[in-house]
């Protein structure tokens, strides 16, 4: 089981253990935690799109909210597994709730960031957003394909989910100061371009790893 869980250093930290224990004691299921992560992604997507239509302090507030939503999504992704595994509160639909909301969250965040960049003034923002979103989903597809073929889950990078979300968070926060140099969505677009490139390399690397393992038997 452990080889199919993403290695997360914070999982062993005291605060994470305490949070997972508190959720389990209150009867919160792992599926509910996964749903909360999807809710954070939906909220973040709304904030990203709204940011492209706003200016000044209002745009800064929405971008800060979107960055916070990304972190809430990552927190939910970590805690749902802890509640399911360490506290045995996973349900029969656990595998579905563990994977499907994650893929939807990737698309919501990344594609919406692209629309936010486009509405802010960068014509290529939406195209970059969708390209990055598709490649992000493909990284998970290749990983799950490997598992279906009896191989351990491959969480290799260079831009697996935590790093993708780190890049998006940094680009979002830097975008708050864009009025200083009239960036008009350029920072988010640059972040999305980096995500697309990194996710594409991740798909290639995981595919190469899988092909090598299949050839070796």
CATH topology of domain 8-216: 1.20.120
Rounded Cα gap, residues 196 and 59, in angstroms: 25
In sequence order, what are the residues at sequence separation of 6 or more whose Cβ sits closer than 8 angstroms to the Cβ of residue 19? Answer: 79
Burial of 43 (0-12, 13-18, 19+ CB in 10 A): middle
Q: Where are the domains of the chain?
A: 8-216
Contact assessment for residue 77 and residue 147, using Cβ atoms and an 8 Å cutoff: no
Q: Which of 105, 81, 84 lies closest to 11 in space, CA to CA?
A: 81
Residue 3: its pLDDT value, please? 52
Structure tokens at 147: 């598992």
Give residue-wise pLDDT tens across range 165-193. 999 999 999 999 998 888 889 999 999 99
Give residue-wise pLDDT tens across range 10-34. 887 889 899 999 999 999 999 999 9
* pTM (two decimals): 0.93
Structure tokens at 171: 């680009």
Residue 123: its pLDDT value, please? 95
Percentage of residues of the chain with pLDDT beyond 90: 80
Rounded Cα gap, residues 19 and 186, in angstroms: 37
């Amino acid at each position: 089981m452990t080889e199919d869980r993403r290695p997360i250093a914070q999982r062993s930290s005291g605060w994470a253990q305490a949070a997972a224990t508190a959720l389990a004691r209150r009867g919160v299921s792992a599926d509910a935690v996964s749903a909360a992560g999807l809710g954070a992604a939906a909220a973040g997507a709304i904030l990203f799109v709204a940011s492209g239509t706003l200016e000044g302090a209002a745009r800064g507030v929405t971008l800060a909210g979107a960055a916070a939503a990304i972190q809430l999504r990552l927190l939910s992704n970590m805690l749902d597994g802890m509640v399911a595994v360490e506290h045995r509160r996973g349900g029969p639909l656990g595998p579905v709730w563990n994977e499907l909301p994650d893929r939807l969250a990737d698309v919501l965040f990344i594609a919406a960031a692209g629309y936010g960049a486009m509405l802010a003034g960068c014509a290529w923002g939406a195209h970059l957003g969708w390209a990055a979103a598709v490649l992000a989903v493909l990284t998970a597809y290749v990983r799950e394909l490997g598992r279906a073929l009896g191989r351990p889950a491959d969480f290799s990078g260079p831009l697996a989910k935590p790093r993708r979300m780190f890049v998006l968070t940094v680009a979002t926060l830097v975008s708050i100061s864009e009025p200083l140099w009239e960036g008009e969505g350029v920072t988010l677009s640059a972040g999305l371009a980096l995500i697309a490139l990194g996710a594409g390399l991740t798909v290639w690397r995981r595919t190469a790893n899988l092909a090598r393992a299949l050839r070796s038997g």
